[in-house]
Amino acid sequence: MQSPRPLGAEIKHEFPVLDQSIHGHPLVYLDNAATSQKPRRVINALSRFYERDNANVHRGLHELSNRATAQYEAARERVARFIGAAAETIVFTRGATEGINLVANSWGSKFVTAGDVILLTEMEHHSNIVPWQLLAERTGARIEWAPVNAEGLLDMSVVREQLALSPKLFAFVHISNSLGTVNPAAELCALARDAGVTTLVDAAQSAGHLPVDVREIGCDFMAFSGHKLCGPTGIGALYGRAGLLDEMPPWQGGGEMIARVEFERTTFKAAPYRFEAGTPDIAGAIGMGAAVDYIDELGRERIFDHDTALAEEAAGRLGAIPGIRILGPCAGRAGLVSFALETAHAHDVVEMANREGIALRGGHHCTQPLMRKLGLTSSARASFYFYNTREDVDRLVDAVARIDRFFRG
């Protein structure tokens, strides 16, 4: 039996960008919740397509077009298997954001009417808030909020009460990009299904970090991005339950998504193609397929265990700094830690860490409503992936402690 691939330091050499120094210090990349780095396998897949197979898909009969089409559709099938879905339920998008907007504009415009309730959680990313606010403005629907308690967890007793009132839609994040909270997606979808509520799961932070299977979760929609699971930017996928996509009208019009165009009318292809107007990001889809191959080769259970172990160690050690505030649950967090120093603004923390070669993220993390509820304007965030190490945690903790001492004078 073949031994599992190593994680941590032994795999860093497969990521060219990590082999550099920043301001004279070896790079420690801890901004993985914003975007992950790309292994040579993904970079080579992109280069190979552009060097040998570049052509438009579906509309050509020549050899390059045939190759491009075969690879593009193979990527769709591979991404589908990655989340336990069938290929015809996968729409390629520019990312999780576009996937959510597609549902809001297509499904929402058809099925949401005045007086309907859209249920969101207080920990949502702006990408899973703004599209629903725009839909509510267009239709006269209203938004309600599932509360987050002091531990950074959903208040499940309230969520059960809210779902029992049968809102039209429940859209929620699988893993919070600010708190590191892992929401019980299967339980939430089961509660919603029992109440006849359509569900959308934002899996941007989870698809590349822990096993995700839409059959086990039982959601109606799921959106995720390629760039957060070692794939290229500008590519992602929307899963729509079989049959549900076929009930939805096209969102954008153009080439490829049509069956027949006449002067008087247009008829459209079946899903998923009716939602992929124009020339798609062919290379991006191929690169995303290569990325999910790579992730599954490493094993998402192992990745999750690795990431969470680093995050829990970082949270514990950072928590020893006087006056620091660690956001999110004390136990069971995903592979990220957001924190606020009483002595320094998050932007100052990130800038000073950058001088030591450490890449963090500082700000509201596109969760302004959550930050306001927490009484904060911003936080610093360290987010881990399988190429990070305990030495990276050491560098992080030492740097934050020095920054705190500097501002204390």
Q: What is the pLDDT of residues 114-156, one digit of tens each?
A: 999 999 999 999 999 999 999 999 999 999 999 999 999 999 9
Question: Of the residues 271, 296, 321, which one is the last residue of a structural domain?
Answer: 296
The two tokens of residue 22 are 């920043």
Could you tell me if 180 and 309 lie in one domain? Answer: no
Q: What is the DSSP string of 17-31?
A: GGS-EETTEE-EE-B
Could you tell me if 292 and 321 lie in one domain? Answer: no
Could you tell me if 386 and 356 lie in one domain? Answer: yes
State the average pLDDT over residues 180-205: 98
Residue with tokens 């991006």: 284
Q: What percent of the chain has pLDDT over 70?
A: 100
The answer to whether position 356 is within a domain reads: yes
Could you tell me if 313 and 274 lie in one domain? Answer: no
pLDDT at 409: 82
State the average pLDDT over residues 157-179: 98
CA-to-CA separations, 245 to 79, 98, 124, 250, 384, in angstroms, rounded: 17, 15, 24, 10, 34
Could you tell me if 377 and 271 lie in one domain? Answer: no
Q: Domain of 162? A: 44-296
Residues marked active site are found at 366
pLDDT at 61: 87
CA distance 108 to 167: 13
Could you tell me if 319 and 186 lie in one domain? Answer: no
- Residue 1, pLDDT > 60, answer no
CA distance 223 to 210: 15
Could you tell me if 279 and 241 lie in one domain? Answer: yes
Could you tell me if 212 and 230 lie in one domain? Answer: yes
CA distance 385 to 252: 35
- Residue 59, pLDDT > 80, answer no
pLDDT at 151: 95
Q: What is the pLDDT of residues 343-394, one digit of tens each?
A: 999 999 999 999 999 999 999 999 999 999 999 999 999 999 999 999 999 9
What residues contact 27, with CB distance under 8 A and at least 6 apart? 17, 18, 20, 21, 357, 359
Would you state the torsion angle of the CA atoms of residues 327, 328, 331, 336, taken in this order, to the nearest 10 degrees?
Answer: -80
**H or E element at residue 373:** helix 368-373
Question: Of the residues 296, 322, 339, which one is the last residue of a structural domain?
Answer: 296
Q: Are 79 and 291 in contact (CB under 8 A)?
A: no
Q: How many CB atoms lie within 10 A of CB 43?
A: 16
CA distance 360 to 96: 22
CA distance 86 to 207: 16
Q: What is the pLDDT of residues 314-347, one digit of tens each?
A: 999 999 999 999 999 988 999 999 999 999 999 9
Could you tell me if 79 and 214 lie in one domain? Answer: yes
Could you tell me if 94 and 23 lie in one domain? Answer: no
The answer to whether position 1 is within a domain reads: no
- Helix (H, G, I), strand (E, B), or coil: what is residue 382? strand
pLDDT at 5: 81
pLDDT at 235: 98
Residue 359: strand pairing partners: 29
**H or E element at residue 339:** strand 336-340
What residues contact 333, with CB distance under 8 A and at least 6 apart? 179, 180, 181, 182, 308, 311, 312, 315
Nearest partner of 295 among 30, 35, 32, 39, judged by Cα: 39
Q: What is the pLDDT of residues 249-285, one digit of tens each?
A: 999 999 889 899 899 999 999 999 999 999 999 999 9
- pLDDT, the chain, mean: 97
What's the structural domain count of the chain? 2
State the average pLDDT over residues 235-244: 96
**Strand pairing of 169-173 and 117-121?**
parallel
Q: Which of 15-24, 41-50, 54-63, 200-209 shows the lowest mean pLDDT across its residues? A: 54-63
Question: Of the residues 245, 274, 296, which one is the last residue of a structural domain?
Answer: 296
The answer to whether position 235 is within a domain reads: yes
Could you tell me if 265 and 319 lie in one domain? Answer: no
**Strand pairing of 221-225 and 236-240?**
antiparallel
Confidence of residue 2 (pLDDT cuts 50, 70, 90): low
The answer to whether position 36 is within a domain reads: no
State the average pLDDT over residues 292-312: 97
Burial class (CB in 10 A: 0-12, 13-18, 19+), 102: buried
CATH code of the domain covering residue 353: 3.90.1150.10
Could you tell me if 100 and 224 lie in one domain? Answer: yes
Burial class (CB in 10 A: 0-12, 13-18, 19+), 243: exposed
CA-to-CA separations, 396 to 100, 203, 358, 359, 390, in angstroms, rounded: 34, 27, 7, 9, 10
